[in-house]
Amino acid sequence: MKPWIKRSLMAFTGVTLAVGGLAACGTRHHERGPMSPEKIAEVRGKVVERITSKLDLNAEQQQKLNVLADKVQAQRTALIGQTPNPRAEFSALVAGDKFDRARALNLLDEKTRVVQVSSPDVINAMADFYDSLNPTQQAEVRERMGQRKGWFGRG
């Protein structure tokens, strides 16, 4: 695989993990706590719909996008883990007089294992989706990834 493709895929994986981690700790709505499975499905549907319309995907490409969305969602779910409130888990690190280094390292090890196990599936799904795009669609993906507004900006 060409070095720039590897770097791009690793960058995408890093961004996916960062977004997934942030999404695990917060929400963009007025409720408190993590998003419900219904809300997650709604947001996922909007994301897939938006990307499908922006790239004018055919049925095969849309199916590969859905596989990618499933893999990213599975990784996000694994990153959150069984904790009902990921924020509380992080807040517990600073709950006492001293920062809980052992607990922080344990949390880091746990999340790193999830990333190591699930990232190859996410990368393969991203590669399958990207490789299914025509050159014009690939150029649109590269352009959108380079913009600050990304897929969800106005315009």
Tokens of 88: 């509380």
pLDDT digits (tens, 9 = 90+) for 60-112: 999 999 999 999 988 888 888 777 777 788 888 888 899 999 998 988 888 88
The amino acid that residue 88 corresponds to is A
Region of 73 please: left (phi>0), alpha (psi -120 to 50) or beta: alpha
pLDDT of the residue at 126: 93
The residues, any chain, with a CB within 8 Å of residue 112's CB and separated by 6 or more, are none
Q: Are 136 and 58 in contact (CB under 8 A)?
A: no
Region of 35 please: left (phi>0), alpha (psi -120 to 50) or beta: beta
Q: Given a cut of 80, is residue 48 above it in pLDDT?
A: yes
pTM of this prediction?
Answer: 0.69
